Structure 1
Amino acid sequence: MMNMNVSMSTVSLDGLTQLYEHRLWLAFFILFLYVFVMLSDSLVVYIVCSQRSLHRPMYVFVVAVLVNSAVGSSAVYPKLVWDLVQGRRVVLVSRSACLCQAFLTATLGSSSFMLLSAMAFDRYLSICHPMYYASLMSPRTVSALLLLCWFLPALRVAGAMVLSNRLPVCYTQVTRIFCDPYTFTSMSCEGASTQINNAYGLMSATITIFLPVAFVLFSYGKVLIISLQRSRSFSSKALNTCLPHILVFMNFSVAASTELLHRRITARNVTVATSILVVVIPSVFNPVVYGLKVAEIYRHVKRLLRHPTKTQPFSE
């Protein structure tokens, strides 16, 4: 129902209505996923931090992506589990809390895309320009890239949140299970301010999502071309090194595409389903890929699980 210029201090999320009959089973499942994500992320991060042989740019970016995953999961999973256990059909969230959750989820999502582009840049230099790799990917360069990948999305999302928060409100309820910047846009009245906000969102998303995606495609395309021109052993090693990052990139791309598609669909069941998929798929998939598909990390994982009392560095 539409009420012009509603004064709103809370946001009503009615996405859990569709999940009410299975709420306890779903709460247990989501809690299990959250524990799995936190343990698996922590395991990979611990291995990279504790093994000096892994203190290299590629693994630094892996840690950054997994930290984003852990923080993003913590911003959504615990509250969702609590709401399901409480048996709420409609969740009332304060506007400030909703803004905070929207800021975290959007910032970390955009940051992950930029981190994946930094990984692609690292692999591109390592494989295509190995003579310049050590000088170009210095600790200072890595630190600068990390700051850029976290600061630029935060600045972009903060601007979007300020604009969204100032839009006139016409709707008091949205079919969502958590808050994101689009939550506020979907509650706003149609008008010039909404169009300006959407234009800003498209422009900023181009900078922090679409341009990094284009750079990733370019980098791995060059890697593929170089690999095909070299020996079979070189090609196999190069492609195996890039495969985990490509899988994670595809995972994020599918989640982002699903989120964009969800904004064009008004069916309530589809909206709730896509909201869950966008949260679950990246956070669960990423630590599995990095833990099992990155050969050096996988060797350390097996060693740690077999001999948890031994802490000496693994000899390559």
Structure 2
Amino acid sequence: MENQTFSDVLLLEGLNVTSQSFFPTFIFLIIIYIFTVVSNIGLVALIFQERRLHQPMYLLFCNMSINDILGATTIIPRLLSDIFKVSTERYITYIECVIQAFCFHLHIGTSLSVLMAMAFDRYVAICNPLRYATIMTNRMVLILTVLAWGVIFVMVAVLVGLTIPLSRCRWFISHPFCDNASLFKLSCQNVLSNNIYGLCYTVILLGSSIGSTTLTYLKIALVCLTSKSKVLNSRALQTCATHLAAYVIMLVSGATFVVLHRFPQLSDQRKLASMIIMVIPPAVNAIIYGLQIKELRQKIIATFYRNKVALMDF
């Protein structure tokens, strides 16, 4: 540390665990990480290999899987490596910290924007089934994908960009990993503009997400209530329940983390919330979509069955 300065290197609190919970925590995190990466890569591969799964709903879900891999890879490997270090040696360069913070916020924002795109797809499929093929074309899927990633990328770039020029008078990040709020708290300058933009960013993101999703599902519910078709209602319940479960998990986790960041006295609860949002949704999404969507479930079962037969023959 002798040849390093405050501007170059920060001390990251990381994940504080007791000696009794060291191995259980490490094993849990590495299992969750491996499961998240393998399951999401597997789902994306299955969707692209099976031509009959080349439908807007599944192609949009690929964005969710890729984003979940990004989020998990941004945070969990660093947590695992820091567990083996004593708390006074968990150094991270400022540039690495900025990159981690950027990827973290990109992951959270893109999760919500992709879920909004998927809600729109479900709305068209259920409320305008006859026009579904003409509305949800490959071009529309591409536009929704670019918007889901591009808009959040720009908003997060501004969010983190406002923090980078700030001078720093502190070097300790009291958080398991780097995020924008932890970065601008290192400064002794006036961070009013950072707080205002961060609040506007949060309100716009959560407001548009909650508003559009609520409106979408109200319209879907209205169609189901006025329809006498049991097939339509069953299809709507199956596909929407899957999407809604993933959305609620992501929304509750994200909102809890944002709110707790505004209360310094609840730092322990904030750290727990930050871990939940980076561990639970990426792993659960693969289970929800992989097992509850009929076409994917059948493909997964068929793949495992073929592998089992091949091993028995061997």
Q: Taking structure 1 as the reference length, what is the TM-score of the superposition?
A: 0.90
Inter-partner Cα distance in structure 2 for 1:262 and 1:15: 18
Aligned match for 2:226, one of 229, 254, 275: 229
Alignment of 1:31-110 (within 5 A): 31-88=30-87, 91-110=90-109
Q: How far has the Cα of 1:239 moved from its partner? A: 1.4
Greater shift, 128-137 or 114-123, is seen at: 128-137
Q: Which runs of 5+ in 2 are unaligned?
A: 310-314
Note the C-alpha offset of 1:241.
1.4
Partners of 1:273 and 1:204 in 2: CA distance: 23
RMSD: 2.0
Taking structure 1 as reference, are residues 20 and 262 closer, same or farther at Cα in structure 2, changes over 3 Å only?
A: farther
Instruction: Specify the code of the residue in structure 2 equivalent to 1:254.
Output: V
Partner in structure 2 of residue 3 of structure 1:
none
AA matched with 1:72: G
Of the structure 1 ranges 290-299 and 200-209, higher mean CA displacement relative to structure 2 is found in 200-209
CA distance in 1 between partners of 2:17 and 2:259 (Å): 19
Deviation at 1:39, TM superposition (A): 1.4
Partner of 1:262: 260
1:217 is displaced (CA, Å) by 1.2
Provide the C-alpha distance between the structure 2 equivalents of 1:59 and 1:291, rounded to a whole number of angstroms.
11
1:112-261 equivalent positions in 2, closer than 5 A: 112-189=111-188, 191=190, 194-231=191-228, 232-261=230-259
The answer on whether the counterparts of 2:13 and 2:177 sit within 8 Å (CA) in structure 1 is no
Cα-to-partner distance string for 1:130-189 (whole Å, 9 max, x where unaligned) = 222212111111111101111111111111111011223343223211111111122233
- One-letter amino acid of the counterpart of residue 63, structure 1: C
Mapped contact 1:224–1:239 kept (Cα < 8 A): no
The CA distance in 1 between the partners of 2:155 and 2:55, in whole Å, is 29
Overall identity of the aligned pairs, in % = 26
Worse-superposed segment, 6-15 or 105-114? 6-15
Kept in 1: contact 2:15–2:79 (CA 8 A): no
SS of 2:188's partner is coil
Change (3 A) 1:273 1:89: farther
Deviation of 1:202 after TM superposition, in Å, equals: 2.3
CA distance in 1, matches of 2:305, 2:140: 36
SS in 2 for 1:12: strand
Give the aligned partner of residue 26 of structure 1.
25
Q: Amino acid of the residue matched to residue 239 of structure 2?
A: T
Task: State the shift of 1:289 in Å.
Answer: 0.4
Q: Write the letter of the residue equivalent to 1:172.
A: W
**Is the 1:103–1:157 Cα contact (8 Å) retained in structure 2?**
yes
1:20–1:87 CA contact under 8 A, matched in 2: no
| Structure 1 contact 258–278 (Cα < 8 Å) conserved | no
Give the match for residue 308 of structure 1: 307
Question: d(CA) in 1 for partners of 2:88 and 2:11?
Answer: 10
Distance in 1 (CA, whole Å) between partners of 2:245 and 2:89 is 36
What's the secondary structure of 2:15's corresponding residue?
helix
CA distance in 1, matches of 2:233, 2:111: 27
Contact 2:163 2:180 in 1 (8 A): yes
Cα 1:82/1:294, change in 2 over 3 Å: same
Code of the residue aligned with 1:165 in structure 2: it is I
1:313 aligned residue = none
Tell me: CA distance 1:20–1:101, structure 2 relative to 1, closer, same or farther (3 Å).
farther
Q: Distance in 2 between matches of 1:262 and 1:101?
A: 20
Aligned match of 2:312: none
Q: Is the CA contact 2:260–2:267 (under 8 Å) kept in the aligned structure 1?
A: no
- Contact in 2 for aligned 1:12/1:91 (Cα 8 Å): yes
Structure 1 segments of 4+ aligned residues over 6 angstroms from their partners = none
Is 1:40–1:287's contact at 8 Å kept on the other side of the alignment?
yes
Q: What is the CA-CA distance between 1:197 and the residue it aligns to?
A: 1.3
| Post-superposition offset of 1:18 | 4.8
Give 1:253 deviation, angstroms.
0.5
* CA distance in structure 2 between the partners assigned to 1:87 and 1:290 by the alignment: 39
